[in-house]
Structure 1
Amino acid sequence: MRVFAIGDIHGGLKALIQVLNKMEVTEEDTLIFVGDYVDGWSESAQVVQFLIELSEKIKCVFIKGNHDVWCQEWLKSEKVDLTWYMHGGKETMESYVGFSDVEKKAHFQFFNSMPLYYLDDENRLFLHAGFTSMHGVEKEVFETTFYFDRTLWEMVLTMDKTLTEDSEIYPKRLKHYKEIFIGHTPTTNFNSELPMRAANVWNIDTGAAFRGKLTGLEINTKKIYQSDNLPLLYPNEKGRNKV
């Protein structure tokens, strides 16, 4: 059985289909999505609908990202968060034109049922952004940390590559997990269109919201599957601003 981690999609349905086709996904596979399904390109509602239908055929884990929280709140109350609106929410709202109230309710339930993190049988952790507790995710105090934190990634980027787990100064929060898979902070910010690894953390957000690609990573072999750059798939669109 193969297990894939898939990065931030941000409304790029065409990219998602490309990646799934390249992975040649079967019913025996498991797909773990690290969040941010919406906001950016023009097919956010269509991405959500596609994923709901996909999960009826293939085992999927959908982790909640910060953009998903904003969309969930809008679907629940129609309240428009200004920050969300300016950073992809407008395009997401437009993508819902033509969707019925029943479909919107189903999408709300989709977001509402998402976990904030997932720990598999091999002690590999999947979450959208990060966590700060030295005792691990179960001891994290603030829910928002799971989908907004960038300190985890910033920390491992600055770590001495020769540092080992038995060192007294090795970060305690990393020791709890065999590997950690995150999105949220595009690797294109660091001039890479490929997933990046630092310590035992893998960042698989390769900038699909902007000018980068969508990535699927087979977590056992670390084989990488990528879409075209999103602006090539949506040539008449701009993508979204950073947040």
Structure 2
Amino acid sequence: MFFFRQPRSEQKRPEPRIPDGIKLYVIGDVHGRDDLLDTLCGAIDKDLAGTPSEHVSIVFLGDYIDRGPRSAEVVERIVSGATPAPVMALRGNHEAILLQFLEDENVLDSWRRYGAMETLLSYGVDLKEVLRGRNFDIAQAELREKLPLAHLRFFEDTKLSWSLGDYFFCHAGCRPNVPLARQQEGDLLWIREEFLGFSGSWDKVIVHGHTPAPEPEELPQRINLDTGAYATGRLTCLVLEGATRRFLST
């Protein structure tokens, strides 16, 4: 009797999965839209009531702040525990810039062009001189004074990446042909074209945000959850349980 084995290149790979008994809710870029996060948390509450799991976590992919009007409220919701489950918080490039600004006021010259003003306003910083392109040091000092210590610790404690089962979570993406354990901070926070155009694969499915798309992008090697919430009103969440995937959105 002869047995024919399918060539390795044609063998179907097992479906990616996370360990049994765990449910993950993975949320894309919030960008100051606490109203949408509130709605999404309500949807997660309802979803949990229907299918309870032993261990439930919410993974945020970063970019809590900037562009939308309620950055401080988004962070306060998370640090105060006003979410339906414990949180794993990853860092986005916008949080990295805020931390840089606290050390170097000159960072504001570029940061103010893509969202800093909304964040500073949400923390009660006076913007009159900043709008004129001056007195960045005063704005820096005012943010240092008005930023709650719990919020600062939150920003400082965010992680660059996290992994569970067959999934790897980060903000922007990964450098092709570099092992996941050796990915660099700059790529995890900022990469775009090299990552998005890569048709190969890693050892795990990359779940990321950073680059807005009209719909969540679900590809064999990556899943993009940034649906441009601050502009579109659509905040997207990926639900992972065992080998199943589904989406919730506002």
TM-score (norm 1): 0.75
Instruction: Give the match for residue 165 of structure 1.
Output: none
The correspondence for 2:160, drawn from 95, 100, 116, is: 116
In structure 1, the partner of 2:222 is 201
Compute the RMSD of aligned alpha carbons: 2.5
2:179 paired residue number: 136
Q: Is the 8 A contact 1:130 1:152 kept in 2?
A: no
The amino acid across from 1:31 in the alignment is I
Q: Which amino acid aligns with 2:67?
A: G
> 1:136 corresponds to which letter in structure 2?
P
The superposition leaves residues 136-162 of structure 1 with CA deviations (integer Å, 9 ceiling, x where unpaired) of 23212x421111001354224xx4xxx
User: Which of 207, 215, 218 does residue 236 from structure 2 map onto?
Assistant: 215
Partner of 2:134: none
* Partners of 1:56 and 1:205 in 2: CA distance: 20
Residues 28 and 199 (structure 1 numbering): CA distance in 2 closer, same or farther, change over 3 Å? Answer: closer
2:212 counterpart of 1:186: yes
Secondary structure of the residue aligned to 1:4 is strand
Indicate how the Cα distance of structure 1 residues 13 and 55 shifts in structure 2: closer, same or farther if over 3 A, else same. closer
Residue 182 of structure 1 aligns with an amino acid whose one-letter code is H
Shift of 1:217: 1.2
Unaligned ranges ≥5, structure 2: 1-21, 49-53, 126-142
Matched, 1:2 2:44: no
Q: Percent identity?
A: 27
Deviations 1:84-129 (A, max 9, x none): 1110101100000189947533212111111100011x13100000
Letter in 2 for 1:8: D
Q: 1:64/1:55 Cα in 2 relative to 1: closer, same or farther (>3 Å)?
A: farther
- Residue 6 of structure 1: CA displacement? 0.2
Give the match for residue 234 of structure 1: none
Using the TM superposition, give the Cα deviation of residue 77 of structure 1 relative to its aligned residue in structure 2, in angstroms: 5.6
| Count of residues paired in the alignment | 204
- Matches for 1:22-171 after TM superposition, within 5 Å: 22-24=43-45, 28-54=55-81, 58-75=85-102, 80-97=107-124, 101=145, 103-120=147-164, 122-132=165-175, 134-140=177-183, 142-151=184-193, 153-156=195-198, 159=199, 171=200
Give the whole-Å Cα distance in 1 for the aligned partners of 2:83 and 2:208.
25
Secondary structure of residue in 2 paired with 1:81 = helix
Contact 1:10 / 1:208 at 8 angstroms: preserved in 2?
A: yes
Structure 1 residues 90 and 51 mapped into 2: Cα distance closer, same or farther (>3 Å)?
A: same
Q: Distance in 2 between matches of 1:201 and 1:212?
A: 23
- For 1:46, what is the secondary structure of its paired residue? helix
Q: Secondary structure at the match of 1:180?
A: strand
5+ residue gaps, structure 1: 160-170, 189-193, 228-243
Q: Which residue of 2 aligns with 1:162?
A: none
Structure showing greater radius of gyration is: 2
For each residue in 1:45-104, what CA deviation from the matched residue of structure 2 results, as whole angstroms up to 9, or x when unmatched?
111111111278732111100011112233456554222111010110000018994753
Structure 2 distance, partners of 1:76, 1:31, is 30
- Report the TM-score when normalising by structure 2: 0.73
